Amino acid sequence: MPFYGQHIKAARLHLQKSDPVMKRIIKWVGPFHAKTNRDRFGTLVSSIVSQQISVAAARTVNTRLLEATCDLNESPKFTPEAILKFDVDGLRELGVSRQKASYVLDLAEKVHSGVVKLDDLPRQSDDAVIEILTQVKGIGIWTAQMFLMFSLGRMDIFPWDDLGIKNAITRHYQLGELPNKSKMLEIATAWRPYATVACWYLWQSLELEDD
């Protein structure tokens, strides 16, 4: 589902009332403008390809892969069937590493065969979505959490192990060192049930600090 305006308004009001630090961050960053991506398979392919490389490099590889696997006369979109026309070596020629190529092919095979039913995920709980997606090689809990946030639009996801979130919390909550899981969960208690929105604001605050 998309991020609905009334839900974001409720989230901002809740965060501002429950957490004075988050209130300052929201005022600094401004309006929430994240969008959900309804192309679930494409989102997962791009997530795998983009792991541990720069944004620019990921964009280049994803574009090359999309051009090779899609009919550009149609709306360009990854499909399992198109991906499965390639083997690992074929994907490597497009700039995908051998390991990631095996992951992308595993995803395409599991979706094509129905082991992973992407259309069913919106009706599943957060934990069930994570369990289903992590059956795929190369998809861990963090990738599944990003999918919950920005593909399914789940409002209360807290990727406590995300380094960006840890760095932002360390800065804004004036901690002397990166927080452990217990401290992260303690701080995030005030954000529930809108942890997704709080995390988006924390990520955005890091980008503003880097400008």
Positions marked active-site: 162
Q: Which residues contact 135 (CB under 8 A, 6 or more apart)?
A: 110, 115, 116
- For residue 116, the 8-state DSSP code is S
Burial class (CB in 10 A: 0-12, 13-18, 19+), 46: buried
Among residues 177, 178, 175, 176, which one has the least CA distance to residue 160?
178
Which residue, 134, 76, 77, 71, is CA-closest to 106?
A: 134
Using an 8 Å Cβ cutoff, are 149 and 155 in contact?
Answer: no
SS3 content of the chain, % helix, strand, coil (to 5): 65, 0, 35
Beta-carbon contacts of residue 50 (< 8 Å; ≥ 6 apart): 58, 62
| Collapsed DSSP state (helix, strand, coil) of residue 141 | helix
Query: 41: closest CA among 22, 16, 64, 69?
Result: 69
